[in-house]
Amino acid sequence: MDSLIIFGYAIPAVIAAAAAFLIGRFQPGGDGRRLNSLIIGEAVIYLGLSIWLAASGLPRFFTDNGYLMADTLGAYEAVITSVLFLLASVYARGYVGSLLERGEIERSLLGLFYGAFALLPLVIVMGFLSNNLALLWIFAELSTLFSVVLVVTLKARENITAALKYVFVTSTAMLFAFVGIIILFALSREVVPGGTLNWTDLMDAAASIEPRMYTFAFVFLFIGFGAKAAIAPFHTWLPTVYVRAPSVVAVVSGAVLNLGLYAILRLLALGHQAGDEAFLNPFLVAFGTASLFLAALALISRTNTKKLIAFSGIEHSGLILLAFGLGSPAALFWALFHKAGNALVKALLFFSAGIFHRQYGSNKFFAIKDPFRLQPLAAWGLVIGSAAAIGAPLTPVFLAKFNILVAAATQALPLFIAVLAAFLLAAAGFGYYLIRAFTQGGDAGMERYDTPAAMRLPIAAALVLLVALGVWLPGWLGDALNVIIADLGFQG
């Protein structure tokens, strides 16, 4: 019965992808609406299945060898990914039509675009449901492949350059992770007959693993998955890709960052059980703080809306990594909570930026004229999304940042001061950008882009969810996050 859950994820994606490739092959002149309907159907199934899975008895093993499993952490990540996928698939109904009208994508490539769009969430969710580190590595690499396909389908030479940079940086880093996998498997053979890379088996045997050798493997693994999470100095691909990727793609691809952080958290839990947190925790704090400062400083000089969002993503990945390194149950709780809040913030910002690009034909701030008259929903989406990104009160990011700051203050006052300074720099960067973008006056002769309802609806939904999560922490969500922390061995 449990194995049917995997088919529940796989079959809709395969059907949608196959239909996309066939329609693209034999009916290349369509507008993609039928393909988009398949994608929306797949997204609805994913969200329903992920919610049901999260609410069911966990953990669940889907294969006899234990390679695929859902525990509370995996189900939580699957729900976040499914929400992003549904919002993006609805947004794509209007957004892709605009790309076609302006000749930014060939009609003959729609099948390839939607086929990759259908398969990307599948490999990301399967990564979260992987109980095996090698299998997670494979799904992480597949997520790169499908993300690259979605980027290069646009008619721009710069997109090919961005895709090549993405592949070069992340796949090269993932080779280091592959070396780490080999080392970890060798270590496991000393404590588990035949060796294993299953998380559950490794956690059971972690106390017997030699701590220093595990640290050696962890560093290699961190390089690979840190690149996936856009942790400095492995972040260089993210601004380039986010600028060139369609807004709808960037939203779903943002789940890849969560996949990298997910792997690092699992590896940290193993190291915690192995008894080497004395090295691992400061190691993660150092990289997290470096990412915070790099992103915060870069935000001040941004002129491109999507680059602003990209560096904000690096900042928030650094914040989550910092919270992992703090290692306390409270810090981990708010880091996990922040994953959901940050996903909604980035969706809101990218959807708004996409409408602005349709209106002004540019992502640069100096192209924005009279936004509250021409595109009021997108304008408010960008303003509220920016406020949420910097941690304004009544937003989920505020709750996460405040409580992670408190956790930092309890461990080291200099760290608290440094992190607070990074937050203030990031806020200054967003504020400076918005002041320049929204105070340029109007252009009475500019025609208003008629934004499709399909592009407005996800913005409204993201706003509602963001506000709700900022003022109310559901009891079931708090319970789930506490279960995750206990399962990872950070309680007590």
Q: Is residue 134 assigned to a domain?
A: no
What was the pLDDT predicted at 297?
93
Give the pLDDT confidence score for residue 119 in this predicted structure. Answer: 94
- Model pTM score: 0.95
Q: What DSSP letter does each residue of 203-262 carry, written as one string?
A: HHHGGGS-HHHHHHHHHHHHHHHHHHTT-TTS-THHHHHHHHS-HHHHHHHHHHHHHHHH
- What pLDDT, on the 0 to 100 scale, is given for residue 107? 82
Please check the confidence at residue 29 and state whether its pLDDT lies above 70: no
List pLDDT tens digits, range 211-260: 999 999 999 999 999 999 999 999 999 999 888 888 877 777 678 899 99
Identify whether 419 is part of a domain: yes
φ/ψ of 111, rounded to 5, equals -60, -45
- Digit-coded pLDDT (tens) for 99-109: 888 888 888 88
Tell me which DSSP letter residue 446 carries: P
458: containing domain = 286-492
pLDDT category, 444, cuts 50, 70, 90?
low
- Say yes or no to pLDDT of 183 above 70: yes
Calculated CA dihedral for residues 285, 208, 212, 278, nearest 10 degrees: 30
Do the domain assignments include residue 354?
yes
Find the mean pLDDT for residues 64-88.
94
Which residues are CB-contacts of 272 (< 8 A; sequence separation ≥ 6)? 280, 327, 488, 489, 490
Share of the chain above pLDDT 70, in %: 97
**In the predicted model, is pLDDT for residue 492 greater than 60?**
no
Tell whether 194 is covered by a domain.
no
Mean pLDDT, residues 46-60: 93
Q: Is the pLDDT of residue 178 over 70?
A: yes
Mean pLDDT of 354-376: 89
Is 436 within the bounds of a domain?
A: yes
- Contacting residues for 417 by C-beta, under 8 A, at least 6 apart: none
In order of 193, 308, 380, 386, 437, the CA distances from 432 in angstroms are 59, 11, 16, 11, 9
Distance of CA 67 to CAs 116, 126, 129, 415, Å? Answer: 24, 11, 9, 39
DSSP letter string over 188-200?
HTTTSTT---BHH
Give residue 155's pLDDT.
73
Spatial CA neighbour of 352 closest among 1, 95, 3:
95
**Considering the chain, what percentage of its residues have pLDDT values greater than 90?**
70
pLDDT tens, residue by residue, 111-164: 889 999 999 999 999 999 999 999 999 999 999 999 888 888 887 777 888 888
In a domain, 155, yes or no: no
CA neighbor of 353 nearest in space, from 453, 459, 430: 459
- Tens of pLDDT, residue by residue over 474-484, are 999 999 999 99
The structural domain count of the chain equals 1
> Does residue 230 lie within any of the structural domains?
no
249-294 confidence digits (pLDDT tens): 777 767 889 999 999 999 999 999 987 778 999 999 999 999 999 9
Look at residue 105 and give its three-state secondary structure.
strand
Q: 442 Cβ partners below 8 Å, 6+ apart?
A: 369, 370, 373
Beta partners for residue 193, in sequence order: none
Quick check: 71 pLDDT over 70? Answer: yes
Residue 316 in domain: yes
Q: What per-residue confidence (pLDDT) applies to 28?
A: 66
**Does 296 have pLDDT greater than 60?**
yes
